[in-house]
Chains A and B, each alone.
Chain A
């Protein structure tokens, strides 16, 4: 009998054995598929978001300088720009004006940014697709903003930002400096933060040190730190990932533990019978190996396929409530499909191998016993 023929025969027996306990094994497969689906979904969404963030944020400011007072952000005097501009290696310093606006009528938060293109056209704004969708407003529509003094500012939508950019622009409202200062009663000579351009990016840490030395109440944030933020947000230790990983891992451990702690009376009788009719211990273990592999492979492949469809075809619809939280505005975005082969392989070895091993160990214990005592026990 050739090697392949022997494996096929043993696989036949293993599949028959699994089908004899259809209900139990089917529920096992369903639970296993669910665990793999959850783990793979988290893996796909975090990998895709990290990849997207690392590409999209490549052109983020080289350095942002904020001012902190009592541990909180404070407006930066624009005079700071002159001080920082004198630091060797700094190419330019520009003041940024941006902030948040809470729309009490619908509970949404907008990010308001002063945009140079609108500097000569006060009264006009450009809005992100999320804002336009939420307010059911299009081009030439008007949005009322309640200013700090209680008066209303009616700003006309000049254009809506493209929907393809929602992942970075869904909640943006771009406006002129005049409107921004009028809305928040922000005094002249102050900005939200300062943006630096440097001649050599390798000098960023030296420049950051000099900024803090000259202006001790400031905090510089470099481009590297901004980029690393998203690695940290979606790392395996981050909140969402660890909660789902921990839940799925517990479920998987229960599955594996159930297998590893022992066999049912029926399974023991089956092994005893096989031994009684002349099967070697190695053949019994091979049969159990194929049983474990069959359950694991079916569950792994089904789970990972469903996870891909979930993340890249339905835009992670099951995770949406968790990601949305209490946000009123939420971007409608499609992630760029991406499969990290290394991560998929790690998931395979961390689930299929332990489960298969957990199937073999108790069978080995039973298979090495006397068939008569196994069947009588």
Chain B
């Protein structure tokens, strides 16, 4: 009964599951393929002493969130709001949030 709707639906689901399996299969060698690039980045981080990913270059506290200080987003004056869009994406690093609890 090839014309039955349930069969068409089953085939549709099967195709989607096959695509998903293919994507899963694509992700697995993708990781080993990317290994040399990751190693290159890791070496660069080690040799240059880098601390952050280069994701948001618009402000120093979003370019290097790990190195930022608590007052960086309000750098212009005490009542200044954070005006860089990426400031709303990057959260405050954990070590700044719990700085008072640090040794």
- Chain A residues at the B interface, C-beta cutoff of 8 Å: 8-9, 11-12, 15-16, 19, 49, 52-53, 55-61, 64, 66, 68, 71-73, 96, 100, 108-109, 111, 113, 115, 128, 130, 161-162, 164-172, 174, 193, 195, 205, 208-209, 212, 219, 221-222, 225-226, 228-233, 235, 237-240, 243, 294, 297-298, 301-302, 304-305, 308, 312, 322-323, 325-331, 336-339
The 4 closest A-B pairs by CB, nearest first: A59-B46, A325-B85, A337-B30, A301-B16
- Bound together, the chains give a CA A75 to CA B66 distance in angstroms of 17
A-B contact count (CB 8 A): 227
A residues within 8 A CB of B41? 56, 164-165, 167-169
A251 → chain B, closest Cβ, in Å?
A: 20
Which residue of chain B is the closest to A61 with respect to CB atoms?
B49
What separation, in Å, do the CA atoms of A305 and B22 have in the docked complex? 10
Which residues in B have their C-beta under 8 angstroms from that of A115? 48
Contact A230 B53 (CB under 8 A): yes
Q: Are A305 and B16 in contact (CB under 8 A)?
A: yes
* Known interface pairs A162-B40, A225-B95, A232-B94; A301-B56 also in contact (CB < 8 Å): no
How many angstroms from the CA of A237 to the CA of B97 in the assembled complex? Answer: 14
In-complex Cβ contact of B91 among A168, A221, A233, A329 (8 A): A233
B84, A302: Cβ atoms closer than 8 Å? no
Contacting residue for A325 out of B4, B53, B60, B84, CB 8 A: B84
Contact of A323 among B6, B75, B86, B95 (CB under 8 A): B86
CB neighbours of A238 from chain B (8 A): 89-91
Name 10 A/B residue pairs within 8 A (Cβ), A-sorted: A49-B55, A55-B42, A60-B45, A228-B94, A231-B94, A305-B19, A305-B20, A326-B84, A336-B37, A339-B23
- Per-residue CB contact flags for chain B residues 62-103 toward chain A (1 = under 8 Å, else 0) read 111111011110010000000011101111111100010011
Q: Which residues of A contact B45 (CB under 8 A)?
A: 56-60, 168
Contact call B53/A226, Cβ cutoff below 8 A: no
Q: Known contacts A16-B5, A100-B60, A233-B90; is A60 also within 8 Å of B95 by CB?
A: no
- CB closest chain-B residue, reference A297: B13
Which one, B6, B12, B49, B88, contacts A96 given CB within 8 A?
Answer: B49
Residue contact B91 to A66, C-beta cutoff 8 Å: no
Question: By CB atoms of chain B within 10 A, which of A55, A195, A325 has the most?
Answer: A325
Contact A232 B67 (CB under 8 A): no
* B residues in contact with A73, CB < 8 Å: 67, 69
**Which residues does chain A contribute within 8 Å of B99, judged by CB atoms?**
219
Q: Are B53 and A55 in contact (CB under 8 A)?
A: no
Known: A229-B95, A232-B92. 18 other contacts (CB 8 A): A11-B5, A15-B5, A55-B38, A66-B69, A71-B71, A72-B75, A109-B60, A111-B63, A165-B41, A168-B41, A208-B103, A212-B102, A222-B95, A229-B52, A233-B91, A327-B56, A336-B30, A338-B31
Confirm or deny: B11 has a beta carbon within 8 angstroms of a beta carbon on chain A. no
Q: Chain A contacts of B4 at CB under 8 A?
A: 8, 12
Instruction: Kindly state whether residue B34 has any CB partner on chain A within 8 Å.
Output: yes
Assuming the contacts A61-B49, A73-B69, asked whether A298 and B12 have C-beta atoms less than 8 A apart, the reply is yes
A12 x B5 contact (CB < 8 A): yes
Roughly how many angstroms separate A64 CA and B67 CA in the complex, as a whole number? 9
